[in-house]
Structure 1
């Protein structure tokens, strides 16, 4: 498979900064940096979808976010404005070191081609995963009714705990007396309605529902979230294992 030189564009080579690095530079807890990134993403203030990456720490696989220059500086300005200059200096150092691979060196060239081929494979696998979800989203945005949390989970075909965590991490909803309630910002934006009343024994109740506009909005965020998940690439089976499992009778 021939990969054109154009594949090594400035976009592919653009330097990035991880949420872990931002945490180290600012002294802010990594989970707080990630929370801010998710909040900025939810508010649609980031220039592009957040890319995730996995790393191992203390025997556990954890997740970090990878940001471009603009989005990383916006994140730093939001969590700890006093460190903006330090992060900007780090970016200037990083941008100076970016260069094309030395294709005159056979070893470097071979590594570059292999790396780009792997990127393309990952992209194709990611598209294969996203395609049915995108098709579902195109259908789902036609919904004109409001939906409750469980109804939405059923329609999105997502487990309730996973979707609940998605909403809580982005401060879209919070817990109030054990009940999921939307943040006032999103109520005012027209994404939710809240109904309340008094039942038997003067017991008060409240229920939040996604409006038709809210359904379309949150479905878009969910599809974007799914598209940025890291794709697990399984190594190919060894030839001898495949032969051993083959029956000749």
Structure 2
């Protein structure tokens, strides 16, 4: 659960929730036996700008709430119950339901295999392209994958791969550390404006092609199930 959602549920300022999380994590880090999960990420505000937030697991979220009032705690607890209910698998109650579930799963597997088969030629082409070329920008990679730029950009943002920073698109640090992106600094000749260009490395192109293929296969599978 994100600090933004906690702030919304509890009626607190997001800045105050983030401050409380930092205070709590400082205290928890003094005891290595206590497991806690707090990940730094970003969210897009109404003005289309990126802002920092934290993402907590259930135990860490509930620990944070011990310092809040009962009404706020109950709202977050109920939200966690809703999230867990969505993830809980549905257990068939009758033989007919079990057979229907098995048939649906078989259909999903067939649709996913078909989607992966369609993506295979593109993946092979990407492998050959990556072997012969260097770092490439967003539009070049989108064209290489035959992907709609708007859809591809939205997926990169939703998947926490890239984000908007000061009017430019940047990669999350964990992907830079993994060697999937390289950041090149430069100065525009027209106006002497300094900029940072984030480009996919050959390793990054290969990796994102596989992830994009999985995304397209999952989308095709979902579309087939809904129809």
Structure with bigger RCO (C-alpha 8 Å, 6+ apart): 1
Q: CA distance change for structure 1 residues 118 and 184 in 2, over 3 Å: closer, same or farther?
A: closer
The RMSD of aligned alpha carbons is 3.8
Tell whether the 8 Å contact from 2:163 to 2:172 is kept in structure 1 after alignment: yes
1:76 is aligned, of 57, 68, 82, to 57
Helix, strand or coil: the match of 1:168?
A: helix
Q: CA distance change for structure 1 residues 204 and 82 in 2, over 3 Å: closer, same or farther?
A: same
Counterpart of 2:17 in structure 1 is none
Counterpart of 1:140 in structure 2 is 126
**TM-score under structure 1 length normalisation:** 0.51
The answer as to 2:224 corresponding to 1:232 is: yes
> What is the count of residue pairs matched by the alignment?
157
Helix, strand or coil: the match of 1:171?
A: coil
The answer as to 2:208 corresponding to 1:218 is: yes
Gaps of 5+ in 2: 11-54, 65-76
Between the aligned partners of 2:216 and 2:62, the Cα distance in structure 1 is: 31
Counterpart of 1:185 in structure 2 is 174
Structure with bigger helix share is 2
Tell whether the 8 Å contact from 1:126 to 1:231 is kept in structure 2 after alignment: no
Deviations 1:75-124 (A, max 9, x none): 735872639xx879x98xx99x98776xxxxxx32332233223212321
Tell whether the 8 Å contact from 2:157 to 2:163 is kept in structure 1 after alignment: yes
**TM-score under structure 2 length normalisation:** 0.55
- Which moves more between the two structures, 167-176 or 150-159? 167-176
2:151 is aligned, of 155, 159, 162, to 162
What is the Cα deviation at residue 234 of structure 1? 6.8
